[in-house]
A = this chain, B = another copy of it.
Amino acid sequence: MATDTRESGTALDLKFDSNGLITAVAVDADSGEVLMVAFMNREALERTLKTRKATYWSRSRSKFWVKGEESGHVQEVQDILIDCDQDCVLLKVQQKGVACHTGRRSCFYRSVQAMSGAESLKVVAQPLVDAKAVYAGKK
């Protein structure tokens, strides 16, 4: 499909990478806060559209990953947006519990501090739940 059509048209024409993946950003449907970033392949998106439960492709485990299937911390998808060049999707979700496996609401809990040319990280959010307990109870 031509670039113009892909960018201005109303046909879904996703641009997957060489591994058949696309970036997926999950945000809280109410606050807009970015919760996590993961990947989807075509079928993961299809499953997400069908079930309305965020379903990613786990690169490390090479399998579909229904977010929260073990922890109960599922993401109910309210809306899916596509960016201009159709290589990224944005999921607006109702997050049950927390998004991050560390027990924090969002995976983005550290801020980069750059001083005198050296970088370090500052923790800016604490766990809301004990992630170990959540997962231990499910395995």
Residues of A in contact with B (beta carbons under 8 Å apart): 7-12, 23, 25, 27, 31-34, 36-37, 49-50, 79-85, 88-90, 100-102, 104, 107-112, 114, 119-124
Instruction: A100 to B85: give the CA distance in the assembly, Å.
Output: 10
Asked whether A37 lies within 8 Å of B84 as measured between CB atoms, the reply is: no
Within the complex, which residue of B36, B81, B107, B121 is in contact with A112, where a contact is CB–CB below 8 Å?
B81
Instruction: A114 to B51: give the CA distance in the assembly, Å.
Output: 11
Asked whether B34 lies within 8 Å of A90 as measured between CB atoms, the reply is: yes
Chain B contacts of A112 at CB under 8 A?
12, 49, 80-82, 89
Within the complex, which residue of B11, B25, B36, B84 is in contact with A109, where a contact is CB–CB below 8 Å?
B84
Q: Which chain B residue lies CB-closest to A118?
A: B12
Asked whether B23 lies within 8 Å of A83 as measured between CB atoms, the reply is: no
| A–B complex contacts, Cβ < 8 Å, 14 sampled | A7-B102, A8-B102, A12-B112, A12-B119, A12-B120, A25-B34, A34-B34, A34-B90, A37-B88, A80-B111, A81-B112, A83-B107, A83-B108, A84-B101
- Smallest distance from the beta carbon of A64 to chain B beta carbons, Å? 18
Q: Which chain B residue lies CB-closest to A88?
A: B37
Instruction: A9 to B102: give the CA distance in the assembly, Å.
Output: 12
